[in-house]
Structure 1
Amino acid sequence: MILMKDIIREGNPTLREIAQPVSFPLSDEDRQLAADMMTFLENSQDPEIAAKYQLRAGVGLAAPQVDVSKQMSAVLVPGPEGEAPILKDVIINPKIISHSVQDAALAEGEGCLSVDREVPGYVPRHDRITLRYQDVEGVSHKIRLKNYPAIVCQHEIDHLNGILFFDHINKENPFTAPDDMIILE
């Protein structure tokens, strides 16, 4: 089981590397990593399990965050209370193949399991993306995402490219946004 101690923190060089593509069929090791990352997200979103193991809640976890430089991220975006998740999959070798001109940012900014400090500011992202990726069976998917799920996937893909969310924040004016940027509450 992945615990907080297994997640590397900013300053670790793996977080700044460009992750290697994953080949199929997945090795037993990669298959286990995918399952363990998804289990972490499920556990982190369960209040009782999270409290028991002192897990910070997460909606995404990239392989580089557990010190494995491979293009693989688990994503678990919960749906409305009592409903199925909006997005639940392990995205492997993901590529954004198109995106909106419209940018969006989360009103409260972004956080990261690998960053133990608050970094205030808007993180500009594309409001809508079309994402192509493979699942653990090697099946290709092409999905359209908007708003929060699109932001989550862009955050995770950044991890695969050695980018952390605060790299996008305007250093001089962290809460300055262009007039046409959507601020998501």
Structure 2
Amino acid sequence: MLTMDDIVRDGHPSLRTVAEPVQMPASDESHEILQEMLQYVINSQNPEIAKKYGLRPGIGLAAPQINVSKRMIAVHVHDDRDKLYSYGIFNPKIVSHSVERSYLKSGEGCLSVDEPFPGYVPRYARVTVTGTTLEGKEIRLRLKGLPAIVFQHEIDHLNGIMFYDHINKQNPFAEIENATVIER
């Protein structure tokens, strides 16, 4: 079982390295790692389990965050209509996105970043993501709102990009043109 001790912190080289594609079909080892990543995210949202194992709550996790440089992400998040997006995905890729932007009013956080980075993180309002599920099925997800932001955040990790790289350094709370504000 993954714990907070398995998550590398800001400054670790794996967080700035472009992750390698996973050979498909995925090996048993890759499958097991991705399954554990998804279980971590699910467990971290359960207050009793999180307290018992000292897990910081998260809604997404990318393999580089556990020092595995492979293109794998786990997401467990509800949208504004309470629809659950719970996926372990191999080789996720954003294949299209909107011109419109969105951002979380509260800003973004990250399990690998302990200190706060205040500011708005501009994201695409809508994205289409493809990849392969834990069950080995090709998937195509059309996402908006919080799920779209989470998938973009996790896919950024696969490319060595941190959420705070997107924050306007001169004016972190500058209004983002043509953007929808998402409350969380």
TM score, norm. by length of structure 2: 0.95
Tell me the CA shift for residue 178 of structure 1. 2.7
Partner of 1:44: 44
Identity %, equivalent residues: 53
Q: Within 5 Å, which residues of 2 pair with 1:11-30?
A: 11-30=11-30
Unaligned runs of 5+ in 2: none
Partner of 2:58: 58
Partner of 1:70: 70
The answer to whether residue 165 in structure 2 is matched with residue 146 in structure 1 is no
Tell me the CA shift for residue 117 of structure 1. 0.6
Tell me the CA shift for residue 118 of structure 1. 0.5
Secondary structure, aligned partner of 1:117: coil
Partner of 1:32: 32
Cα separation, 2, equivalents of 1:179 and 1:28:
45
TM score, norm. by length of structure 1: 0.95
Cα separation, 2, equivalents of 1:101 and 1:115:
29
Tell me the CA shift for residue 137 of structure 1. 3.4
Tell me the CA shift for residue 24 of structure 1. 1.6
Q: Within 5 Å, which residues of 2 pair with 1:100-139?
A: 100-139=98-137
Deviations 1:34-76 (A, max 9, x none): 1110110111000001011111110101000000000000110
Q: Given the superposition, is the C-alpha separation of residues 122 and 101 from structure 1 closer, same or farther in structure 2, using an over 3 Å criterion?
A: same
Partner of 2:3: 3
Contact 1:25 1:137 in 2 (8 A): no
Unaligned runs of 5+ in 1: none
Partner of 1:180: 178
What is the alpha-carbon root mean square deviation over aligned residues?
Answer: 1.4
Secondary structure, aligned partner of 2:130: strand
